[in-house]
Structure 1
Amino acid sequence: MNASNFVEGVDFTLYLILGISVFFLIGITFTMIYFLIRYSKKRNPVATNIEGHTGLEILWTVIPTILVVIMFYYGWTGYKPMLNAPEGAMEIEATGQMWKWTFKYPDGKVSDSLVLPVDEPVKLNLKSPDVLHSLYIPAFRLKHDVVPGGNNSMWFIPQKLGSYDILCAEYCGQLHSYMLSTVSVVGEDEYAAWLKSSPDLSNEPPGLTLLKKNACISCHTTDGTRLVGPSFKGLMGRQENVLIDGNEQTITVDRDFITQSITEPNAAITVSYQPNLMTPYKDILSDEDINKIIDYIQTLK
């Protein structure tokens, strides 16, 4: 049993192209070796003028053309079914954001990993709020670009129970290689139970939950180490050198500055950090959400 309904077609096309390539690699290599020996100076001291051969030229034009058409045919027939999801497929919004995958289910549940019922068609609507990503599930033989502002989608039928890797196949910045997740294919009953469950956040500060949900901790750490953006640890009350309209200024970090950094991240850039990387959250987070985040940051001494 294959992991998805597209494995067989993709693998067949791959093996077909690989087989043709290896055949010609071996054939051409042996032909070259034969000519090196047959027409070496020792065996052929006087150069032989070999006239053109019309039949041979037609042969090595027609055969490659036929092979290319065959490879294109199987490639197209394997790719075309991937374009249109069947009616009734479960639609899940898959968001790629530096450097995290997030999946939103039809009932509103959000998860950082993909859980799917076996043998049910699934359509992933691909979104990105920042840069270009590419959702890649090797075991399913599927990869599709996640373009900011685009409306790309991909679909498949998971056919085999198990857990499979999800990767980002498009370089998207410093922590690209850490943009990992999993897809778990489970039985119908197990999926229904998972869908009704909710993560235990009873001991987690609301601000931390919001930071995780919006992938903030992908760029900002809570332990003082440096990533793409300044660490949240000890941030409140710290003096920072920032660039405002090209002029360097020293400011003391307070609630107003953090609020501005969340809603207008390019208004003031901390010196030694790169601008234009962070997405403005003005229309994503409410004032209440921002206050919860700042309350949590204040606890990180």
Structure 2
Amino acid sequence: MFFGPSNTSGKIEVSFLILTGISVLFLVLVTFFIILFLIKYNKKRHPRAQEVRESLLLEIVWTVIPTALVLALFYFGWKDFDYIRNPPKNAMPVTVIGRQWSWLFEYENGRESDVLRVPVGKPIRLILTSKDVIHSFFVPAFQIKEDCVPGMETHLWFTVNETGSYDIFCTEYCGVGHSHMRSKVVAVPPAEFAAWYVAKAAAQKPEERGLKLLLAKGCLGCHSIDGTQREGPTLKGLYNRRVTVRENGKEKKIVADEAYLRTSILKPAFDVVKGYQPIMPATPLTPEELQTVVDYLKGLK
């Protein structure tokens, strides 16, 4: 491959260079002929215009050449499209779930992550879908993009050639948190990936399980854990803090105790923090999951 850290970026960049080269060539030609005709056929040299009724050669040229160019561009585009849509048989499947406003990546062995961790040199087959609205999965460094549509699956594949971290964006407007719907492709050596892939989730500490649940449920698409303000209030230092909320259109001050945390998760429209919109959906959790999240938030100072 000529450019970029993945197999797809090299192929697609070659097609873009061909398209750009043809466009620049025609820009130069058209500009040249405009200037030539301005000089050669101006009113001083030709005070009386002459009508050219027909030119078989000219008609053949301006029909055959554009047709050939369009067919050539179609060929390069179709070749890349077909390549991206047909992964090799040994590609590793990863399910990509878009939701407002974060990404979730599910691996074949049940592991979940908020970043797409992949081994270098291994073909990766993405199975894309959405939990709510249409999202668009875009990795600029790989020059690949595909919609995530509720109720159906779309597909992409790639192989990363270099270790590194590569940005993931959503390029389909999906609501107020659209600009925060970002993640990473993290490419690591095969041995490092294998160790991560087989690691058991049961070995996680309670606080790690709480963070994992927040990631899996999409909570961190709107809330931060580092004090950053997003579409929803930050979760950092929330527990036992006095907050101003709106209930039935009236403002009141309350203490964000454990009962408040539980209510905010299960019935988010009940007490809405002042300055924020009631856009949070109810989050379905088992009693054990709810307690894990609450315990995590209580310890988030």
- TM-score normalised over the length of structure 2: 0.80
Q: Is the 8 A contact 1:98 1:179 kept in 2?
A: no
- State the alpha-carbon separation in 2 of the partners of residues 273 and 121 from structure 1: 43
Q: CA-to-partner distance for each residue in 1:82-121, whole Å, 9 max, x for gaps?
A: 2233444321122334454332221122233333334433
In the alignment, residue 289 of structure 2 is paired with which amino acid? D
**Structure 2 residue aligned with 1:12:** 14
Count of residue correspondences: 293
Q: Is the 8 A contact 2:243 2:273 kept in 1?
A: no
Matched, 1:227 2:263: no
In the alignment, residue 18 of structure 2 is paired with which amino acid? L
Label 1:224 to 1:122 Cα distance change in 2 as closer, same or farther (>3 A). Answer: closer
Aligned-pair CA distance for 1:261: 3.3
Q: CA-to-partner distance for each residue in 1:103-156, whole Å, 9 max, x for gaps?
A: 222112223333333443321112333443322233433221223343122123
* Secondary structure in 2 matching 1:204: helix
In the alignment, residue 241 of structure 1 is paired with which amino acid? V
Matched, 1:242 2:246: yes
**Structure 2 residue aligned with 1:292:** 292
* Secondary structure in 1 matching 2:223: coil
Q: Is the 8 A contact 1:221 1:230 kept in 2?
A: yes
**Structure 1 residue aligned with 2:114:** 112
Identity of matched residues, %: 35
Q: CA-to-partner distance for each residue in 1:43-67, whole Å, 9 max, x for gaps?
A: 44x2423334342234323321221
- State the alpha-carbon separation in 1 of the partners of residues 230 and 45 from structure 2: 67
Q: CA-to-partner distance for each residue in 1:3-47, whole Å, 9 max, x for gaps?
A: 444344323322221121111111001111112222334444x24
- State the alpha-carbon separation in 2 of the partners of residues 287 and 23 from structure 1: 66
- State the alpha-carbon separation in 2 of the partners of residues 299 and 9 from structure 1: 49
**Structure 2 residue aligned with 1:25:** 27
- Structure 2 matches for 1:130-141, cutoff 5 A? 130-141=132-143
In the alignment, residue 127 of structure 1 is paired with which amino acid? T
In the alignment, residue 23 of structure 1 is paired with which amino acid? L
Q: CA-to-partner distance for each residue in 1:66-92, whole Å, 9 max, x for gaps?
A: 211221122112212322334443211
Which of 194, 203, 211 pairs up with 2:214?
Answer: 211
Q: Is the 8 A contact 2:93 2:107 kept in 1?
A: yes
- State the alpha-carbon separation in 2 of the partners of residues 211 and 26 from structure 1: 55
Q: Is the 8 A contact 2:264 2:270 kept in 1?
A: yes
Label 1:231 to 1:116 Cα distance change in 2 as closer, same or farther (>3 A). Answer: closer
- State the alpha-carbon separation in 2 of the partners of residues 264 and 148 from structure 1: 24
Which of 176, 179, 182 pairs up with 2:182?
Answer: 179
Which of 73, 76, 96 pairs up with 2:75?
Answer: 73
- List runs of 5+ in structure 2 lacking aligned partners: none
- State the alpha-carbon separation in 2 of the partners of residues 58 and 260 from structure 1: 75
Label 1:164 to 1:239 Cα distance change in 2 as closer, same or farther (>3 A). Answer: closer
* Secondary structure in 2 matching 1:71: helix
Worse overlay, 114-123 or 199-208: 199-208
Label 1:243 to 1:131 Cα distance change in 2 as closer, same or farther (>3 A). Answer: farther
Q: Is the 8 A contact 2:127 2:153 kept in 1?
A: yes
- List runs of 5+ in structure 1 lacking aligned partners: none
- State the alpha-carbon separation in 2 of the partners of residues 131 and 279 from structure 1: 13
* Secondary structure in 1 matching 2:156: strand
- State the alpha-carbon separation in 1 of the partners of residues 263 and 278 from structure 2: 14
- State the alpha-carbon separation in 2 of the partners of residues 13 and 209 from structure 1: 41
Label 1:223 to 1:107 Cα distance change in 2 as closer, same or farther (>3 A). Answer: closer
Label 1:67 to 1:48 Cα distance change in 2 as closer, same or farther (>3 A). Answer: same
- State the alpha-carbon separation in 1 of the partners of residues 38 and 218 from structure 2: 61
- Structure 2 matches for 1:38-117, cutoff 5 A? 38-44=40-46, 46-55=47-56, 56-117=58-119
Aligned-pair CA distance for 1:162: 1.9
- State the alpha-carbon separation in 1 of the partners of residues 151 and 253 from structure 2: 35
Matched, 1:163 2:164: yes
- State the alpha-carbon separation in 2 of the partners of residues 70 and 251 from structure 1: 67
Q: CA-to-partner distance for each residue in 1:168-205, whole Å, 9 max, x for gaps?
A: 14144446267131230523x34322323468854836
- State the alpha-carbon separation in 1 of the partners of residues 53 and 37 from structure 2: 16
- State the alpha-carbon separation in 1 of the partners of residues 253 and 133 from structure 2: 30
- TM-score normalised over the length of structure 1: 0.80
- State the alpha-carbon separation in 2 of the partners of residues 114 and 205 from structure 1: 18
